[in-house]
Amino acid sequence: MIALRVTDLRVAYGQVVAVHDLSLTIEAGDALVLLGPNGAGKTSAVEAIVGLLPKRRGKVEFFGEDISAMNTSAIVRKGLALVPQWRELFPTFSVEETLIAATTAADKREPKSLESIYDLFPVLQARRQQLAGSLSGGEQQMLAIGRALVANPKLLLLDEPSSGLASGVMRTLIQAIKRIRQSGVAILLVEQNMEIARSVGDRCCMLAAGTLAWQGPMQEAIKHDEAARIYFGDTRA
Amino acid sequence: MSDKRFGFAGLGPTVFILICLVAGLALDSYPKYVLAITIISMVIGVALVVLVGLGRCITLASGSVMAIGAYAATLSMVHLGVPYAAALLLAILAGAAAGWLIALPGTRFRGHNLAMVTLVFQSVCIILIREAKWLTGGAEGIRVPPPSIMGWRIASDSDFLIVIGVLSALIVLLMTILVRGPFGKNLQAAAGNEVAAETFGVSVPGYLTAAFVVSSAAIAFAGALAAPRIRILDPDSFGVLPSISMLAYPIVGGMYSVWGGLLGGGGLRVLPEFLRPVADYQELFFAGLVIVVVMFFPGGLVELLRRGSALVFVRDAKRGSAPIPAAAASPIAAAAEADASQVLLRVEGVDKHFDALHAVNSANLMVPVAGIHGLIGPNGAGKTSLFNIISGFLEADQGRIEFGGTSLLNLRARDRIRLGITRTFQHVAVFGQLSCLDNVIIGRGRNAVFHSMQQSFEYFIDGPGAVAARREALVALQAVGLVDQAHSLAAALSLGDQRRLEIARAIISEPKLILLDEPVSGVSESEVEGLRQLLLRINAERNIAMLVVEHNIPFVAKLCRTMSVMGAGRIVAEGRPAEVIAMPAVRQLYFGEESAA
Amino acid sequence: MLAELGNILIAGIKFGAIYALAALGLVVIHKATKTVNFAHGAFAMLGAFGSFLIVVHWQGPYWLAYLLVPILIGIIAALIEFLILRPLRRADMFTVVIATVFLGIALGEAFRLIYNTELLAVPGMFVGAPFVVSRVFVTKETLWVIAGALVTALACVMLFHHGKIGRGMRAMASNVRGAQLCGYSVDRVYMFAWFLGGALAGLTGVFVAPITGVSVELSIAVITAGFVAGVIGGFDSLRGAILGGLLLGVVESLAAAYVSSAMKNCVSFILLFFVLMWRPEGLFPERVARRV
């Protein structure tokens, strides 16, 4: 069953075309990694999928339902959650209140219990009453993931969860993402960090300058050093 | 090129008022009165175009400023026996002072805070006038003595119409000169994009203060002109509601041109005379009109007329591409081969913290004279912070930045252009409301407030200074291949062309260094190579050094002679592009630890 | 001497409580939607007018005015959000401020046309002799206004800080994108914030009507007082708005009594100016949290 099907998605800011006719699909329970250098349009693509950015054209289907014209809150309530690049937490909310607020997105589904989130990230339980704004970078990232997860989504989009984090925290995150995947949630991961990408994803799409430059199994991408070619250009020239 | 219609078009509003005046002399007594008051509203409309339209400052204090002018003139005539002509001058001074006073908080706040500050200023002024009975006659009002100018007693309706018409035409002429000249353009630039304006030496607080002073002086003058016509001044006729109605003038008429102020002020003032039966509804009608205009026709009446006329008269689509004087068109003679070993910009040990985040960690960087240096790194590496410290929009916690031996720390962004540093912006920051030519002229950097006011007169008569500035700008536009677009609005260009326009604006002052902030971000693949060629040519022909921050590594690698790579706030590698890219440390930065192996 | 001061303070607190209510409505709308509603004073004036219609014109019971008017004004505010503010959501602050300024004028003029008169008087809810405690006079009406306005204001703060709807508004205030990702709809939260702000303005009008009557000037008085009180409180803090309102009321009352009655209006100017210039975060800001 196809969880997400994106067809000919185009995203533009004024005259700047950030994403150029992108098509991709994710099977239910699958994990896809979106790779690409800065400015390739990865963030624009995922933000347009959840409706945070307007789409110029193209179609987005979620479990067969056309969600192209819906606004973000409606899309999120369908069970498509995003952990945004800049986390977008509420600094004045406590950890617990943040999670409670996010259960709104469960809509008619049964939300996950807060305990299940604390089970995934025990440090959040210890910080339960602390304000989100006072957490460390890694804890904030965990809270952002917990916030997306508490509404019991069917597909989780993660936009560069590793950015600005120390490698110890990164390992915790990788473990958590693997566990989320094992629980049956499909994952679309936007990453620059190959280490996370290869340990989470099976398939990989590479974006460059807003277009799909390469796609295939993760192993192939690593073997042929596709990423380096796309990032740095042909350095032998 | 010299545009012959320039001077004539600038005279239009003045001539229009004079025509109104002459035609009005044939009218009856009451229409003469209405016409005189209407002309005064036109002056106010134009004054508010300066402040509200070009400066984008919301003011709800126009009524009190008008009162200040009217009372200053009247009181000096009543209590000091000053002649009317001198009283008019006093009114201008009082208005200018009031404008400066409002600008004190006015330049610090925009939007709702400014609206509120002006509203409270308005209320307090009226209260003070009402309370100072011994001076102003209080709420009952004060009789304005019949004026006379050099022995001529102004008494009949025709006399008033002549005096008001002629003096209004004069003040509108002055404001037209300012609006159409560099002063108006710079003011629009300051209101449109503060960061870009400051980069080119346009002081935003300076220009906004000037806008308050100029427009308040003109409104006060209008008040003083109206005073004898009204005969009895009382504070309540200058209240909040009239203030708000005046704010409607430029919005309904069109905020960006003198004609908009004339049409809005004149039209809204005279309309109720024709709509007598529904005069009761006029305020409601005006308020509704303003809401409709801001929602659906942000350009106002002038924009509607322009579109209408464009439908009727098919314009000759484009003026022929401007001929450029041969001498100026040749590229600037290639200067002597610069000594590349000489250091132009030196950054040493720069540190910057944002709370717990160590954004820049003792960074060192060096750009040689006439060199091209690149700065790359993954998201969040601190490139932008370091770039902003160098360009003066962020203060470093520690470290030294030297440019040709001068320290750049503690130097405001707008002062860097004098040393020979200009920049472009990641999110293109052209002044969209201005033509390409005007954008580039601002790049010359001679933008002090008084200088630009003086220059406005020079431009009005199309003097040698104006011609020279235009020629320089055309040369710069030609260098980037935009000379055909010189008269198009910058907002109408494609993104790639806007980037070119930024480059033209950055090179016209013949700087020693250009800071390029992601010069190809968002630009289509096909235009990237063109921009690279352009930058290389400018570097070679003009010996301008460049510091480039960019995500597109293949582009930087082909453009730069040396580059630095940042990661987590530190400079992790530097050297020639090919060597840097091959370093394991750089790969690790982009792809994580394992791929470094 | 002391009794005089007592009377002045009570009058000040009475006005202050009303200012607090006015400021609260402005702050609720601003906090949730980032818009300063310059039509707020006009909403309050319409509320006072509604009170006049119910109590004087139709001779209805006073409690009906307190019940119906806030709901009606709230609905009007929500409608205005839908018709005017929503299309302007992508516009800059300049445009939005101009739109709400002229919206206020339009509403005021609409009232003036319906009831072609300068001033409509509205009786108080309570009549009767004041209580006298050691020469300090307190009427039932005064007690009712102070208690009623402050209790409503505190209830509103509770709703905002602990209720489910309040959580949505605070999330939206804190981070619009984050709130959307939590399933809150911008349209619904904005509309509700306007409803709540409008209802508070309507209630302000009902409370103030017996003191000032109904006139177009009322709308300017309410927006000025509400805005200044809001700025004193930091404009993003609900508790600050209440404290700011009370402070403004008391200071105005003291200035009117001990300096001159004209000074009363100048006080708000001086306070606004000094707070904006030297403490733009307000005198009673909310606890400051680090940016995320």
Residue B449 lies in a domain: no
Q: Assess whether pLDDT exceeds 70 at residue C286.
A: no
H helix runs in B317-463, sequence order: 326-329, 383-391, 416-419, 436-442, 449-460
DSSP for A134-166, please give it: GS-HHHHHHHHHHHHHTT--SEEEEE-TTTT--
Q: What is the CATH number of the domain that holds C220?
A: 1.10.3470
Encoded tokens for B235: 């504070």
Any B CB within 8 A of A131 CB? no
Instruction: Give the per-residue SS3 of B4-51.
Output: CHHHHHHHHHHHHHHHHHHHHCCCCHHHHHHHHHHHHHHHHHHHHHHH
How far apart (Å, rounded) are the C-alpha atoms in residues B373 and B21? 63
Which chain C residues contact residue B131 at CB under 8 A? 260, 262
How far apart (Å, rounded) are the C-alpha atoms in residues B86 and B92? 10
**Distance between B20 CA and the closest CA of chain C, angstroms:** 30
How far apart (Å, rounded) are the C-alpha atoms in residues B530 and B559? 12
Q: Assess whether pLDDT exceeds 50 at residue B336.
A: no
**Is the domain of B406 the same as that of B522?**
yes
**Is the domain of B219 the same as that of B358?**
no
Q: Assess whether pLDDT exceeds 60 at residue B23.
A: yes
pLDDT score for B403: 87
Question: Is A196 in Cβ contact with B521 (below 8 Å)?
Answer: no
Angle at A154 between CA A148 and CA A158, to 5 degrees: 45
Partner-chain residue, chosen from C93, C101, C113, that has the shortest CB–CB distance to B284: C113
Question: Is A71 in Cβ contact with C289 (below 8 Å)?
Answer: no
pLDDT digits (tens, 9 = 90+) for A34-85: 888 777 788 889 999 999 988 888 999 999 899 988 999 999 999 899 999 8
> By mean pLDDT, which of A81-85, B213-217, B331-335, B568-572 is the weakest?
B331-335
Any B CB within 8 A of C111 CB? no
> Which residue of C269, C275, C278 is the best one to mutate when testing the B interface, meaning the one whose CB has the most B CBs within 10 A?
C269
Any A CB within 8 A of B361 CB? no
Pairing of strands A186-190, B421-423: unpaired
How far apart (Å, rounded) are the C-alpha atoms in residues A237 and A229? 12
- Higher per-residue pLDDT: A75 or C1: A75
pLDDT digits (tens, 9 = 90+) for B458-483: 888 888 888 889 999 999 998 888 88
Which of A54, A139, A147 is CA-nearest to residue A97? A147
How far apart (Å, rounded) are the C-alpha atoms in residues A60 and A50? 9
pLDDT score for C236: 83
> By mean pLDDT, which of B201-215, B299-313, B529-543 is the weakest?
B299-313
Three-state secondary structure call for residue B376? strand
> Which residue of A19, A21, A33, A38 is the best one to mutate when testing the B interface, meaning the one whose CB has the most B CBs within 10 A?
A38
Q: Which amino acid is at A220?
A: E
Work out the burial of residue A115: count CB atoms within 10 Å of its CB; fewer than 13 is exposed, 13-18 middle, 19 or more buried: exposed
Region of B405 on the Ramachandran plot (φ > 0 left; ψ -120 to 50 alpha; else beta) = left
Encoded tokens for A7: 């067809």
> Which residue of A99, A104, A107, A139 is the best one to mutate when testing the C interface, meaning the one whose CB has the most C CBs within 10 A?
A104
pLDDT score for B570: 84
pLDDT-derived band at A13, boundaries 50, 70, 90: confident
pLDDT digits (tens, 9 = 90+) for A103-148: 888 878 888 888 888 988 988 888 889 898 888 888 899 999 999 9
For chain C, the residue count is 292
Residue C284 lies in a domain: no
Which chain B residues contact residue A164 at CB under 8 A? 357, 380
H helix runs in chain C, sequence order: 2-33, 40-52, 62-80, 93-114, 140-162, 164-174, 176-181, 186-212, 216-233, 238-258, 263-278
Residue C14 lies in a domain: yes
**Is the domain of B360 the same as that of B509?**
yes
Mean pLDDT of B265-280: 80
Residue A144 lies in a domain: yes
pLDDT score for B597: 37
Residue B309 lies in a domain: no
Q: Assess whether pLDDT exceeds 50 at residue C169.
A: yes
Question: Is B521 in Cβ contact with A194 (below 8 Å)?
Answer: no
Residue B183 lies in a domain: yes
Residue B482 lies in a domain: no
Residue C96 lies in a domain: yes
Residue B515 lies in a domain: yes
Question: Is B551 in Cβ contact with A234 (below 8 Å)?
Answer: no
Nearest Cα residue in chain B from A196? B592
Question: Is B281 in Cβ contact with C220 (below 8 Å)?
Answer: no
**Cβ neighbours for B490, distance < 8 A, ≥ 6 positions apart:** B430, B431, B432, B433, B434, B435, B436, B439, B498, B501
Q: Assess whether pLDDT exceeds 80 at residue B99.
A: yes
Any B CB within 8 A of A192 CB? yes
Residue A11 lies in a domain: yes
Partner-chain residue, chosen from A137, A193, A228, that has the shortest CB–CB distance to B592: A193
**Distance between B127 CA and the closest CA of chain C, angstroms:** 7
Any A CB within 8 A of B581 CB? yes
Question: Which structural domain, as residue segments, surrounds residue A218?
Answer: 2-232
Which chain A residues contact residue B597 at CB under 8 A? none
Question: Which structural domain, as residue segments, surrounds residue C274?
Answer: 2-278
Tally the domains of chain B: 2
Question: Is A92 in Cβ contact with C170 (below 8 Å)?
Answer: yes
Percent of chain A at pLDDT > 70 equals: 95
**Distance between A104 CA and the closest CA of chain C, angstroms:** 6
Any B CB within 8 A of C187 CB? no
Question: Is A106 in Cβ contact with C178 (below 8 Å)?
Answer: no
pLDDT score for A234: 56
Question: Is B287 in Cβ contact with C109 (below 8 Å)?
Answer: yes
Question: Is C182 in Cβ contact with A102 (below 8 Å)?
Answer: yes
Tally the domains of chain C: 1
Partner-chain residue, chosen from A77, A91, A97, that has the shortest CB–CB distance to C183: A77
Nearest Cα residue in chain B from C80? B291
Partner-chain residue, chosen from B524, B551, B578, that has the shortest CB–CB distance to A37: B551
pLDDT score for C131: 82
pLDDT digits (tens, 9 = 90+) for C238-261: 899 999 999 999 999 998 888 877
Q: How many residue pairs from chains A and B have C-beta atoms closer than 8 A?
A: 69
Question: Is A132 in Cβ contact with C180 (below 8 Å)?
Answer: no
Region of A236 on the Ramachandran plot (φ > 0 left; ψ -120 to 50 alpha; else beta) = alpha
Start-to-end C-alpha separation, chain B: 62
pLDDT score for B329: 40
Any B CB within 8 A of C98 CB? yes
Nearest Cα residue in chain A from B358? A164
> By mean pLDDT, which of A110-124, A212-226, C269-283 is the weakest?
A212-226
Mean pLDDT of C223-228: 91
pLDDT score for C115: 77
pLDDT score for B262: 93
pLDDT digits (tens, 9 = 90+) for B429-469: 899 889 999 999 998 888 889 999 988 988 888 888 888 89
pLDDT digits (tens, 9 = 90+) for A177-201: 988 988 889 999 998 777 788 888 8
Residue B300 lies in a domain: no
Neighbours of chain B (3+ CB pairs under 8 A): A, C
Partner-chain residue, chosen from B56, B110, B283, that has the shortest CB–CB distance to C105: B283
pLDDT score for B318: 42
Question: Which structural domain, as residue segments, surrounds residue B536?
Answer: 343-430+493-596
Any B CB within 8 A of C256 CB? no
Which chain C residues contact residue B119 at CB under 8 A? 220, 224
Nearest Cα residue in chain A from B553? A232
Partner-chain residue, chosen from B495, B521, B587, that has the shortest CB–CB distance to A15: B495
Question: Is C109 in Cβ contact with B283 (below 8 Å)?
Answer: yes
How does the average pLDDT of chain B come out, rounded?
A: 85
Question: Is B553 in Cβ contact with A195 (below 8 Å)?
Answer: no
Residue A208 forms beta bridges with which residues? A211
Question: Is B294 in Cβ contact with C88 (below 8 Å)?
Answer: yes
> Which residue of A171, A211, A231 is the best one to mutate when testing the B interface, meaning the one whose CB has the most B CBs within 10 A?
A231
Q: Assess whether pLDDT exceeds 80 at residue B8.
A: no
Residue C138 lies in a domain: yes
Assess contact for B549 and B384: CB atoms under 8 A.
yes
DSSP state of B407: E
What's the Rg (C-alpha) of chain C? 19
Which ipTM score applies to this complex? 0.89
Which chain A residues contact residue C180 at CB under 8 A? 52, 71-73, 76
What backbone phi and psi angles, to 5 degrees, belong to C214?
A: -110, 120
Tally the domains of chain A: 1
Alpha-carbon dihedral A45, A47, A49, A50, rounded to 10 degrees = 170
Q: What is the CATH number of the domain that holds A68?
A: 3.40.50.300
Q: Which amino acid is at B575?
A: G
How far apart (Å, rounded) are the C-alpha atoms in residues B499 and B520? 8
**Distance between A71 CA and the closest CA of chain C, angstroms:** 8
Three-state secondary structure call for residue C177? helix
**Distance between C113 CA and the closest CA of chain B, angstroms:** 8
pLDDT-derived band at B340, boundaries 50, 70, 90: low
pLDDT digits (tens, 9 = 90+) for B381-428: 788 888 888 888 888 888 888 888 888 887 887 788 888 888 888 888
Question: Is A17 in Cβ contact with B590 (below 8 Å)?
Answer: no
pLDDT score for B331: 42
Question: Is B591 in Cβ contact with A227 (below 8 Å)?
Answer: yes
pLDDT score for C291: 39
Any A CB within 8 A of B593 CB? yes
pLDDT digits (tens, 9 = 90+) for C49-99: 999 999 999 998 989 999 999 999 999 999 999 999 999 888 888 889 889
Which chain A residues contact residue B521 at CB under 8 A? 39
- Higher per-residue pLDDT: B316 or A81: A81
Nearest Cα residue in chain B from A162? B592
Neighbours of chain C (3+ CB pairs under 8 A): A, B
Residue C254 lies in a domain: yes
